[in-house]
Structure 1
Amino acid sequence: MTIKKLTVPGPKAQALLARDAAIISPSYPRDYPFVMDHGRGSEVWDVDGNRYIDWAAGIAVCSTGHSHPEVVKAIQEQAEKFIHISSDYYHPKWVELGEKLDEIAPFKEDSLCFMTNSGTESVEAAIKLAKYHTGRSRFIGFFGGFHGRTMGALAFTASKSVQRSGFFPMMGGVTHIPYPDPYRPVLNPKFYDDYGDAVIDYLENTVFAQGVPPEDVAAILVEPIQGEGGYIVPTKNFFPRLREVCDKHGILLIVDEVQSGMGRTGKMWAIQHWGVEPDIVCIAKGIASGMPLGAMVARKSIMTWPPGAHGNTYGGNPLSCAAALKTIELIENGFMQNAAEQGEYIMDALEEMMPRHPSIGHVRGKGL
């Protein structure tokens, strides 16, 4: 069998890369000279006809693969009716999606949702709501966390210093603490069976006792599984105890499910692996199979802000809402179960390999 050797980037790609360099902002971290032509399922083709497997799913966005025919059909049907109506008015898909998000939200209490265009916008909305509802102005974030690059979200992002370099001062009032990473612990784990307990004790006995009055803290913002920070899965005690701390001090618990949500871990929301209910959840990426959409979903008792307190132009646009409704249907009807089964298989296989491969230091993850 002859294996074709790819020429990457090919001539067509090289020409477009040169045009891109002349006109597009250099701030995008381009890691590979791939210029896409089309995609189907998990496969993509570049403009020179080279075929690839997309292991990144468009940065965790293409939750149903590229151009799933049912999602494409839903978008086309909506586009034939109308493409845009401002958020000053109403449209059926917006309401239908809001009802669906309320149905699947990771808390028992009825919820309300605010539609956005991205994960960063969802986080910004959560920050504003937490400030408004609690009347407090301080927050707790985590080292290794990624929540976006706009100035509010960036105050929490702490995964790579280049993302913050040159933008000081950011929004004030955010204090970072270590994430419960048992493989590379920052705190001394000597006296703990569960490293999550060490992190919570540090929060209570050092941060709150010596530096940040808990009564000033509006919310704790956390990824249930850190993404850019290294796909770190917290130890079992961390989230139950974090919920206890929030309840004790009247602090809101905001979970950033932008990357970990929408069935990717084998459950609709990663936080559900620990049986903990947050107060606010931030959503985007995989919600609409590649269409620009996000949402901030909160307990109804928390979303108390009045008309005009927050808004946008394109959030909840009809095409994205139609794509999201079909995407969630597909996730619930097989994709989420597949993520659970394939994830378990991959974890078992990698753990079996560890003793034979010293280069593997730690195997972690949930689902896909």
Structure 2
Amino acid sequence: MKESDLEKLSYPDAPKIITESVPGPESLKQLGEAPEFESMARGAGRFPVVYDEGFGATVKDPDGNLYIDITAGVAVNSVGRLHPRVVEAIHKQTGKLMHSSDCSSSLRLDLAKKISGIMPAGLKDNCITFFTQSGSSALESAIKFVRKITGRSQIVAFHGAYHGVHCGCGSLTTGDQYRKDFGPFIPGVIHAPYPYAYRCCFGTKSQEQCEDMCANYLEYLLNTPYTGVDDVGAVIIEAQQGEGGYLAPNPEFLQRVKASCEKHGALFIADEVQSGAGRSGKMWAIEHSGVEPDILTFGKGIGGDVPMAGVTLRKDLAEKIEDGSQPNTFAANGISAAVSMTNIDILTENDNALIKRVAELGELIKDRLKEGAQKIKCIGDVRGRGFMIGIELVKDRETKEPFDADLMGQVIMGMLNKGVILVPCGRYGNVIRFMPSLTTPKKYLDKASDLLLEVLESLDI
């Protein structure tokens, strides 16, 4: 795919800030009014940007300020905003069928077939998909399905996990802000350590050692008597952890997780809501490991500009779910189905050219950031795959003391004033997520990387 073609899919003159500072006056007005009418419980809360227009990898606010968006709507806009082929699909479908209730529809069937064809080994062409509108709903449904299929009630998730925020799937998620004062959650959820070599809970010194200890712990937990873990229906894992800090384990760790599941008789669920749709440099992050999941959840990048998510189960497992047991009125709406199929076509055409580009450019971005880290001491770690890169910021490299909210605010606002939208993640909120649309022009990726290094170097710490 030519860079010149990709550049036509975004505003050409980003970044461009025309107000004295950001947010500008009209944005400030709307930001001030929003809490009077809308709950700030939403994830972005009071994030100081108002989205007025979007095109590709760029966003314009009501004041006319133009930004490079390195968030892709939190890993949603895989092919960018308002891709011409997506817009065409919407226009075509609006004159034919939009809502179809929970009944079958031609597009719904076509989408299910297309999803089956892009699944990883073990599920590909041997699966059934249940559609939802959000990742949280997909995970909520997965929990119910696991209980029905296995007759077991326990589920193992991992430290740093994000699997949604509903009452069931929120039990799997570990972020304090999503749990504090909202409990009690569903019983039977057990959390195990996820490999986080930079801050390994076992005090190891390498990625391999950390993964070995975490895998040993899970094996002990699942397959040793008297651990209290005796009724596990599934182990759910992000093949590359998102909210927990953009952590990418080696294939061997996930292979050992799968082996422990099989020994215990538990299902292996790959949560690909954030890491899927090509973001890791493969269609699904689990494909880096060669592990065959029993169940896969997806969302975000498959729908892009419209809501779409789902649970895909191996056929023999899906046969155990009774007809009519999980109604979902708006699932696979005609518009959502048409857009999702278009997104999949764009991602997979020309032998997955766009996804392969992500794998190549992701390594270049990491190298660029690691080179900058040699002179910028607040960069503690740079990690990830594809367009799912984490930059962990610390006050001191020796102590690894994380950036606090004030310093992270300086970074985010520093970038906004330069016309780049970034958002953090991580267990201390000190990890910058580099998660642009897969169609982001290279010149915008280079610009955003350089500006980030510039802002970090200017901090007085």
Q: TM-score, normalised by structure 2?
A: 0.76
Structure 2 CA distance, aligned partners of 1:191 and 1:179?
A: 14
| Pairing 1:257–2:272 present | yes
CA contact (8 A) 1:194 1:235 kept: no
Q: What's the offset of the Cα at 1:366?
A: 0.4
* 2:32 pairs with 1:13: no
1:67 aligns with 2:82: yes
Aligned pair count reads: 364
- Which residue matches 1:57? 72
1:335 to 329, 349, 354: 354
- What amino acid is the match of 1:324? S
On the 8 A contact 2:297/2:310 being kept in 1, the answer is: yes
Query: Which SS does the other structure have where 2:52 is aligned?
Result: strand
Question: 1:1-368 counterparts in 2 under 5 A?
Answer: 4=18, 6-28=20-42, 29-87=44-102, 89-109=103-123, 110-158=126-174, 160-189=175-204, 193-206=208-221, 208-209=223-224, 210-214=226-230, 216-303=231-318, 304-333=320-349, 334-368=353-387
Contact 1:132 1:305 in 2 (8 A): yes
- Counterparts in 2 of 1:336 and 1:193: CA distance versus 1, 3 Å: closer
Q: 2:268 is matched by which residue type in structure 1?
A: L
Instruction: Give the whole-Å Cα distance in 2 for the aligned partners of 1:278 and 1:208.
Output: 20
State the superposition RMSD in angstroms.
Answer: 1.9
Measured after TM superposition, the shift of residue 207 of structure 1 is 6.0
Distance 2:337 2:321 in 1: 23
CA distance in 1, matches of 2:298, 2:27: 33
Question: Which secondary structure state, in structure 1, belongs to the residue aligned with residue 383 of structure 2?
Answer: coil
Q: Deviations over 1:325-352 (max 9, x none)?
A: 0001111133212211110211222333
If the length of structure 1 is used for normalisation, what is the TM-score?
Answer: 0.94
**Relative to structure 2, which stretch is displaced further, 40-49 or 342-351?**
342-351
Does the 8 Å contact 1:71/1:289 carry over to 2?
Answer: no
- 2:250 and 2:289 in contact (8 A); partners too: no
Classify the secondary structure of the residue corresponding to 1:81: coil
- 8 Å CA contact 2:139, 2:311 repeated in 1: yes
Distance in 1 separating the partners of 2:171 and 2:154? 11
1:14 Cα deviation after fit: 2.6
Q: Is the 8 A contact 1:6 1:50 kept in 2?
A: no
Partner of 1:151, secondary structure, is coil
CA distance in 2, matches of 1:170, 1:38: 39
What is the percentage of aligned positions where both structures have the same residue?
A: 39
Distance 1:190 1:231, change over 3 A: closer
What is the distance in 2 between the residues matched to 1:82 and 1:149? 31
Q: Deviations over 1:265-308 (max 9, x none)?
A: 11000010011111110100000222011010010011121112
SS at match of 1:72: helix
**Greater Cα offset, 182-191 or 222-231:** 182-191
Task: Quote how far apart the aligned CAs of 1:103 are.
Answer: 0.7
Aligned residue identity for 1:346: I
Cα displacement string for residues 236-267 of structure 1 (whole angstroms, at most 9, x for unaligned residues): 42101011111111100111100000001110
Q: Distance in 2 between matches of 1:170 and 1:355?
A: 44
Secondary structure of the corresponding residue to residue 277 of structure 1: coil
CA distance in 1, matches of 2:262, 2:88: 45
State the 1:212 CA deviation.
Answer: 2.7
Contact 1:107 1:299 in 2 (8 A): no
Secondary structure at 2:197 match in 1? coil
